[in-house]
Amino acid sequence: MSMKYLSQRVAQIIDEELMSQAGGFSIDQLMELAGFSVAQAVAKVYSKESYSRILVCCGPGNNGGDGLVAARHLSHFGYRPSIFYPKQSKKDLFQRLATQCNNLKIPFVNELNKQLLNNTDLVLDAIFGFSFSGEIRTPFGEVIQTLKETNVPIASVDIPSAWDVEKGNIDGRSFIPTMLISLTAPKMGAQQFKGIHYLGGRFVTPELDRKFELNLPPYPGIEQVVDITNLTNERL
Amino acid sequence: MSMKYLSQRVAQIIDEELMSQAGGFSIDQLMELAGFSVAQAVAKVYSKESYSRILVCCGPGNNGGDGLVAARHLSHFGYRPSIFYPKQSKKDLFQRLATQCNNLKIPFVNELNKQLLNNTDLVLDAIFGFSFSGEIRTPFGEVIQTLKETNVPIASVDIPSAWDVEKGNIDGRSFIPTMLISLTAPKMGAQQFKGIHYLGGRFVTPELDRKFELNLPPYPGIEQVVDITNLTNERL
């Protein structure tokens, strides 16, 4: 049985189930675990000696929240992250996550330009997640275009931003990241991704795995992430 | 400069500061990180091959909540925890943490007796934390007595239960654990503890460290815990 790639609808249902009364999770908890697993995966692939300067690009939704959590953990790990977060959510949780980053003196930058990218070792793309659909709103069209043109490696959270969650990088309108950290389970659009691929979200119960026939691979030891690069490419 | 051991009052002030508007953390987040670090520390010292059967003893407060989070992560790590939680909190967060354990089929046991301990490889003591003072309420007096008499190794969360947070194990009224996982910073009572000692809580900012003159040791790599056994014993 091979690992399942989720449709957008099933990804939303699983997310809702985790946070339902039956699942018991709060969004604070899940975002903490998701963001932590992103930071852990990044640190396993990109050493802080060579990739210290990480630019975390955050969108306005939950994917952006995962990015804020990851930025905080990366700072604790000894990286020097900075954050580009042009459409900041007014929700309490997101404001608190930004406060936590401020308290670590992580700089927030106002503009994503080539000069900034020249001083960046890695971009962490936390712009859009599994809820993305339709048009790319301002200012993210320009952001996606800039990321398309850069040679800086990019690690994407959950799904590369502006990819169709199910159909992938339609008409090549978005960039192809170097690394993808899928959360909970990979999305259908990630089937066409051939780079370094990690899975995070070690909170799925065996029951939930069975119910949705996820066939998730086992996580090693006490890790919050599992390398699924080979698993993914087997099926290509 | 040596690491600071906190008074009960300073421990409470730091906790309040972390969760204030200036600190930005929610209790869900901090408890998740604390409980995860406890599970990670336990896994580093007690292998799942030899210490699979972990009895997590949870008190009615936040220390018990850390225990519930740790039990969940230990289950994901491949241990077979069970939970003794005689005074269950009615607060929403605690009910949700218990639900999450239920969803992993972690058994809740109703009684702590010798037969149960005979089938236990390790006790995780999450009964009382840094807020403890005064008398030990029913049924925990009996629980402490049972843990005093057992030969099963005990790992305590933050401070060994029923120890005075500042003065330690007064009149030997409580047990001496094999391992202690201090959270945020060790408490004054832990100065007399000579066993395996880990520190968890990699969320303290450098600013907070300076403000309270904590002089926390650096955490290695991407770990959520640091072994302070030697640091602690140096000063004895």
CATH of the domain at B179: 3.40.50.10260
Smallest Cα distance from A133 to chain B, Å: 29
Judged by CB atoms closer than 8 Å, whether chains meet at A23 and B99 is answered as yes
Domain that residue A220 falls in: 8-235
Residue A122 is given by DSSP the state: E
Q: Which two tokens stand for residue B219?
A: 């955490």
Interface of B with A (CB under 8 A): 21-26, 28-29, 32-33, 36, 39-40, 43-44, 72, 76-77, 93, 95-100, 103-105, 202-203, 205-208, 219, 221-222
| B164 carries a ligand binding annotation | no
Q: pLDDT at position A231, please?
A: 85
d(CA B46, CA A8): 40
Q: How far is B41 from chain A (nearest CA, A)?
A: 10
Give the gap in angstroms from C-alpha B52 to the nearest C-alpha of chain A: 13
Residue A54 near residue A117, CB atoms below 8 Å: no
Under DSSP, the state recorded for A170 is: G
What 3-state class would DSSP assign to B140?
helix
Cβ pair B97:A24 closer than 8 A: yes
pLDDT by 10s per residue, chain B, length 236: 799 999 999 999 999 999 999 999 999 999 999 999 999 999 999 999 999 999 999 999 999 999 999 999 999 999 999 999 999 999 999 999 999 999 999 999 999 999 999 999 999 999 999 999 988 999 999 999 999 999 999 999 999 999 999 999 999 999 999 999 999 999 999 999 999 999 999 999 999 999 999 999 999 999 999 999 988 765 54
In this prediction, what percent of chain A has a pLDDT beyond 70?
A: 98
Chain A residue with Cα closest to B21: A96
Residue A235 above 90 pLDDT?
A: no
Taking the C-alpha atoms of residue A219 and residue B235, their distance in angstroms, rounded to an integer, is 39
- pTM of the predicted model as reported, rounded to 2 decimal places: 0.97
Residue B136 resides in a domain:
yes
Backbone torsion region of residue A39, taken as left when φ is above 0, otherwise alpha when ψ lies between -120 and 50, otherwise beta: alpha
Three-state DSSP state, A56? strand
**Is there a binding annotation on residue A63?**
yes
DSSP letter, residue A188:
G
Q: Give the model's pLDDT for residue A1.
A: 74
Asked if residue B2 belongs to a domain, the reply is no
Classify each residue of B50-75 as buried b or exposed e, where b means 16 or more C-beta atoms within 10 Å of its C-beta.
ebbebbbbbbbbbbbbbbbbbbbbbb
pLDDT the model gives residue A224: 98
pLDDT at residue number A234? 58
Inter-residue contact A42 to A69 (CB < 8 Å): no
Task: List Cβ neighbours of A71 (8 Å cut-off, separation of 6 or more).
Answer: A39, A54, A56, A81, A83, A101, A106, A124
A3 in any annotated domain: no
**Token code pair at residue A90:** 């007014």
Domain contains B3: no
For B126, counting Cβ atoms within 10 Å of its Cβ (0-12 exposed, 13-18 middle, 19+ buried), the class is buried
pLDDT at residue A232 greater than cutoff 90? no
pLDDT tens per residue, range A183-194: 999 999 999 999
The residue in chain A having the minimum alpha-carbon distance to the alpha carbon of residue B100 is A24
**Considering the domain boundaries, does residue B229 fall inside one?**
yes
Give the separation between CA A88 and CA A92, rounded to whole angstroms. 11
User: What confidence score (pLDDT) does residue B134 get?
Assistant: 86
Q: Does residue B1 sit within a domain?
A: no
Query: From the list A33, A76, A99, which residue is nearest B32 (CB)?
Result: A33
Instruction: Return d(Cα A156, Cα A197) in angstroms, integer.
Output: 10
Tell me chain A's radius of gyration from C-alpha atoms: 16
CB < 8 Å to B206, chain A: 104-105
pLDDT at B233: 63
In sequence order, the β-bridge partners of residue A36 are none
Query: Has the ipTM of the complex gone over 0.90?
Result: yes
Residue A236 has pLDDT above 50, yes or no: no
* Range list of H helices, A119-181: 140-149
Residues of A in contact with B36 (CB under 8 A): 36
The total of structural domains in chain B comes to 1
CB nearest B28 (choices: A29, A105, A203): A29
CA closest to B43 among chain A residues: A222
From chain A, the residues in CB contact with B76 under 8 A are 202-203, 219
B132 annotated as a binding-site residue: yes
Considering only CB atoms, A24 lies closest to which of B23, B96, B219, namely B96
Task: Provide the number of CB pairs (under 8 Å) joining chain A to chain B.
Answer: 84
| A197 pLDDT above the threshold of 80 | yes
Give which of B85, B92, B91, B44 is closest to B68, Cα–Cα: B85
Summarize the confidence of residues A61-88 as an average pLDDT.
Answer: 98
| Domain contains A1 | no
Tell me, yes or no, whether B43 lies in a domain.
yes
Are B76 and A203 inside 8 Å of each other by CB?
yes
Which of A96, A103, A207 is opposite residue B205, by nearest beta carbon? A103
Residue pair B214/B201 in contact (Cβ under 8 Å)? The answer is no
